[in-house]
Structure 1
Amino acid sequence: MLIQMVAIHVKQGHVDEFLDAFRINYEGTRREPGNLRFDVLRNPEDDHSFVIYEVFKSAEALDEHRKTAHYLECVRRIDPIITGPRTKTFYNVEMADFLTA
């Protein structure tokens, strides 16, 4: 199991556009057989700051995710409206019975 957390900061005036574009990725990813969880989190103190919490069965499942049409379309749409590169942090799961139950 692999967890990826992606930090994204959206340019002023583009949050609705970001959410519309990211819904494509959210809905598609949740249907992927290798995805266990996919949450879009918004910072309550900065409504232009998001963290995407993703749990995949394996690194290979994450690699397959990055090839999907919904992921590529989302990236194409959001790249012009974010303030800088998306930052990614990866985590290995040590205790997660709740995810596989």
Structure 2
Amino acid sequence: MSELFINVVLYAKQGREQQLHDALKVVVDASRKEEGALRYDLYRDQADPRRFIFVEHWASHELREKHHHHGPHIKYFEAHHADAVERMEAAYFMDRVK
């Protein structure tokens, strides 16, 4: 098992920025409590408040996959708030260069 670092950039639909902000905060709070979540932070771009950036650090790929595919808070977000996302601008899955 090796560590995993992730950056994901989401872009909110016009007029849905606050809804997405509130929904993502719930995801962050729940995700931080999950096994293997070493860091799970959410940022908002100062120049464009429609852009949200996740910075994640997981103990292993397996625990991140468990979070992403089985986390009840992720499933709730997908069912109730994913339509507030206009697009995913980027997703980077990275290994630390020692």
* TM-score, L = length of structure 1: 0.85
1:80 — aligned with what?
83
2:26 — aligned with what?
24
1:21-80 CA distance string (max 9 Å, x none):
112211111001210001111111001011111110010011110111011112223321
CA contact (8 A) 2:8 2:88 kept: no
Unaligned runs of 5+ in 1: 96-101
Runs of 4 or more above 4 Å deviation? none
- SS across alignment from 1:24: helix
Out of 10, 26, 33, the residue aligned to residue 35 of structure 2 is: 33
More strand by share: 2
What aligned pairs does 1:1-101 form with structure 2 within 5 A after superposition? 1-66=3-68, 67-85=70-88, 87-95=90-98
Higher mean alpha-carbon deviation, 70-79 vs 35-44, is at: 70-79
Identity %: 23
AA aligned to 1:76 is A
Unaligned runs of 5+ in 2: none
CA contact (8 A) 2:43 2:53 kept: yes
Count of residue correspondences: 95
AA aligned to 1:78 is H
Q: CA RMSD in A?
A: 1.4
Alpha-carbon spacing, 1:54–1:44, altered in 2? closer, same or farther (3 Å)? same
